[in-house]
Structure 1
Amino acid sequence: MITLERIEPRPWKNGAGRTRELAVHPRDAGMDDFEWRMSLAEVAADAPFSAFPDVDRCIVLLRGAGMHLRSEDGRLDQRLGEPLEPFHFSGDAALHATLIDGPSSDFNVMTRRGRWRADVTPLSDTHDASACAAALLLCRSGEATISMPGDAPRNLQSGQAALWRHDAPALHIAPSFAATLLLVQLRPLCQDAMP
């Protein structure tokens, strides 16, 4: 179980914001050689987003009014203002984030293109998730009970995340009333992507 506030924030790759890394694969990978990476970002001011060539990205607003993402060439122009609504985009181009109305926080998952795929699903109702290579379940608010074959149920509270780095089992997820969660399931797209 990961308690989000216990993770030490670090500067972004470009130094313009702060991030809390939840998980990276391989474990010792840096910003240029990861296979997949999941993190939380705090955006307190308008700021550039670094380019990540050959990486597919997904960003999800967690708190705040959100931001407007734009690329210099105008090909990407996206308002990110709806909480828990995943937005998938290419990491190839550098973007600029303009805050809509004050600081925001968001969840990010990045996968090496052609090697991994991230399925990102917001949850507020009971959900049965299939087994996959790796997974993360983040509790944004409320709480949830997670049941797995052959294991005792676990409780997940607001501000916590459950992580399965390898061989994530099938999950039965039962959120409490008005709970909001985010499920990320990672699947390899080629044989040598698995450890």
Structure 2
Amino acid sequence: MSLHAFDTASLPVTPWKNGGGSTREIACWPPGAGLGDFEWRLSIATIAASGPFSVFPGIDRTIMLLAGDGVHLRSAEHAVDHRLATLHRPYAFSGDVPLDCTLLGGASSDFNIMVRRGRWHAKLQVLESAALLHSATHGMLLALRGQWELDGVSTIDCVEGEGLWWADAPHAWHARPDGADARLLAVRFDPCRDQTDNRRPDK
């Protein structure tokens, strides 16, 4: 599958049914998959009001604050008790756990990754300097601050809020910032190893 460039400012906005926020979907795999059958999903959420987080059984989630004062995530059993208040610091948690989300101030914007547990693993990096990103068959790059030159099959320039994603085709990148205080989010998805491959034969 070819590369897909995007600008977060122009992504379609889907309001939540409970009125507490909205979602801008960046990508969902496989094509045409819905919330019940996706393999991995990338999106940006605007949280405008405190309330419960949706439960996604069998899904591993990662959330990262992009803008705003942040949120406090808590579960009833206190297995999760996390203040998401630092920009660009990812936090991973299970989608199985019912969570209550409390705004720490005004509305917040968050980057979200969801993967089907046991099938995919997501790795995130927030880059602040030039880096070589090894080949990944599924992935995404998003300029968080400043301007970046992405050198792969072609050279692509991205400014804050712009990025690209790809799936089902390997891509490697040399990412270079243009100036100081630049940040780039790099995400790669790798299929989980089949656990049956590690079983020892019966004696």
167-176 or 86-95, which moves further after superposition?
A: 167-176
List aligned pairs for 1:94-113, cutoff 5 A.
94-113=98-117
Checking the alignment, whether the CA contact within 8 Å between 2:45 and 2:110 is kept in structure 1 is yes
When the two chains are superposed, the root-mean-square deviation of aligned CA atoms in Å is 1.4
SS at match of 2:154: strand
Pairing 1:184–2:187 present: yes
SS at match of 2:9: helix
Question: Which one of the candidate residues 34, 44, 55 is aligned to 1:51?
Answer: 55
| 1:172, distance to aligned residue in structure 2 (A) | 0.6
Residues 133-157 of structure 1 show CA distances to partners (whole Å, capped at 9, x for unaligned) of 2111111221100011xx3311011
Residues 147-185 of structure 1 show CA distances to partners (whole Å, capped at 9, x for unaligned) of 11xx33110111111111222411111122211221110
SS at match of 1:130: strand
Question: Which one of the candidate residues 49, 63, 88 is aligned to 2:67?
Answer: 63
1:19 equivalent in structure 2: 23
Q: How many Å separate the matches in 1 of 2:94 and 2:18? A: 18
| 1:122, distance to aligned residue in structure 2 (A) | 0.8
Checking the alignment, whether the CA contact within 8 Å between 2:50 and 2:103 is kept in structure 1 is yes
Question: Which one of the candidate residues 118, 127, 132 is aligned to 1:114?
Answer: 118
SS at match of 2:118: coil
Q: 1:84 to 1:142 in 2, by over 3 A?
A: same
Question: Which one of the candidate residues 38, 42, 53 is aligned to 2:42?
Answer: 38
Q: How many Å separate the matches in 1 of 2:170 and 2:108? A: 30
Q: Which amino acid aligns with 1:135?
A: G
Q: How many Å separate the matches in 2 of 1:92 and 1:102? A: 27
Checking the alignment, whether the CA contact within 8 Å between 1:131 and 1:167 is kept in structure 2 is no
- Give me the TM-score of the superposition, normalised by structure 1: 0.92
**Number of aligned residue pairs:** 189
In structure 1, list runs of 5 or more residues that go unmatched.
none
Checking the alignment, whether the CA contact within 8 Å between 1:14 and 1:50 is kept in structure 2 is no
Q: How many Å separate the matches in 2 of 1:152 and 1:112? A: 31
Q: 1:50 to 1:184 in 2, by over 3 A?
A: same
Q: 1:167 to 1:14 in 2, by over 3 A?
A: farther
Q: How many Å separate the matches in 2 of 1:188 and 1:13? A: 32
Checking the alignment, whether the CA contact within 8 Å between 1:145 and 1:173 is kept in structure 2 is yes
SS at match of 2:83: strand
SS at match of 1:5: helix
Checking the alignment, whether the CA contact within 8 Å between 1:13 and 1:50 is kept in structure 2 is no
Greater radius of gyration (CA): 2
Q: How many Å separate the matches in 2 of 1:161 and 1:30? A: 23
Q: Which amino acid aligns with 2:62?
A: C
- Give me the TM-score of the superposition, normalised by structure 2: 0.88
Residues 74-126 of structure 1 show CA distances to partners (whole Å, capped at 9, x for unaligned) of 11000111111110110001211111121110100000000000001111111
Q: How many Å separate the matches in 1 of 2:172 and 2:84? A: 31
SS at match of 1:131: strand
Residues 22-73 of structure 1 show CA distances to partners (whole Å, capped at 9, x for unaligned) of 0001111111111000000001121211000000000010111211101122
Checking the alignment, whether the CA contact within 8 Å between 1:16 and 1:48 is kept in structure 2 is no
Q: How many Å separate the matches in 2 of 1:25 and 1:117? A: 13
